[in-house]
């Protein structure tokens, strides 16, 4: 299976709305050991000026990966997930994600390069609210190891 480099530059249509729930944020915060009360206690979050409990800094990956699935689950893209290694990840928060947010994600395939059989894929998930105001940008780079390694 060969990664199809012609996917580079592709922009997908907006993904289905992701509705952020308080209990989901609690579950995620607990899993990564994020113990700050702003993740779980609405009054603590409001005291800091947030409308409701806020997401830990890496929670946006949950939202982004639903959009990324459009690429990775497309058989024509030729990405064998058993050979994928996560290379790097970056979150830019235009504002904190909070419970009650209804988020829409547009996935961009920024680049696909192949060198000595190793494919490097960089995606960018632009997460916005329903009015289109930017919330977070998630850039993820994956390496796909060649078949015979």
Partner 1 sequence: MSDAVADLTVGTEVARREVTVDRARLIRYAGASGDFNPIHWNARVATSVGLPDVIAHGMWTMGAAVGVVADWAGDPGKVVDYQVRFTRPVPVPDPGAATIEVVAVVGALDAEAGTARIDLTVSVDGVRVLGKAQAVVRL
| Nearest distance in Å: CB 10, partner 1 | 23
Q: How far is it, in rounded angstroms, from Cα 137 to Cα 90?
A: 8
Nearer to partner 1 among residue 36 and residue 102 (C-beta): 36
Nearer to partner 1 among residue 82 and residue 131 (C-beta): 82
With residues binned 3-state (H G I as helix, E B as strand, rest as coil), the percentages for the chain, rounded to 5, are 30, 35, 35
| Nearest distance in Å: CB 27, partner 1 | 5
| Nearest distance in Å: CB 72, partner 1 | 11
Compute φ and ψ for 22, nearest 5 degrees. Answer: -55, -45
| Nearest distance in Å: CB 98, partner 1 | 8
Nearer to partner 1 among residue 6 and residue 65 (C-beta): 65
User: Is residue 5 helix, strand or coil?
Assistant: helix
Pairing of β 84-93 and β 102-115: unpaired
By CB atoms closer than 10 A (0-12, 13-18, 19+), residue 33 is: exposed
Q: Which residues bind partner 1 (CB under 8 A)?
A: 24, 27-28, 30-36, 38-39, 48, 50, 54, 56-58, 61-62, 65, 81-82, 85-93, 95-96
Nearer to partner 1 among residue 6 and residue 17 (C-beta): 17
By the 8 A CB rule, do 103 and 135 touch?
yes
Nearer to partner 1 among residue 89 and residue 129 (C-beta): 89
| Nearest distance in Å: CB 121, partner 1 | 14
């Amino acid at each position: 299976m060969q990664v199809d480099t012609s996917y580079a530059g592709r922009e997908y249509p907006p993904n289905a709305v992701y509705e952020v729930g308080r209990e989901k944020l609690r579950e995620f915060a607990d899993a990564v050991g994020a113990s700050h009360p702003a993740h779980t206690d609405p009054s603590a979050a409001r005291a800091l000026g947030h409308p409701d409990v806020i997401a830990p800094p890496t929670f946006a990956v949950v939202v982004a990966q639903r959009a990324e699935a459009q690429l990775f689950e497309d058989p024509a893209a030729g990405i064998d997930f058993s050979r994928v290694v996560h290379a790097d990840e970056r979150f830019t928060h235009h504002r904190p994600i909070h419970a009650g947010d209804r988020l829409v994600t547009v996935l961009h395939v920024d680049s696909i390069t192949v060198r000595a059989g190793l494919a490097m894929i960089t995606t960018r998930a632009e997460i916005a609210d329903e009015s289109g105001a930017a919330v977070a940008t998630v850039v993820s780079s994956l390496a796909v190891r060649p078949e015979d390694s």
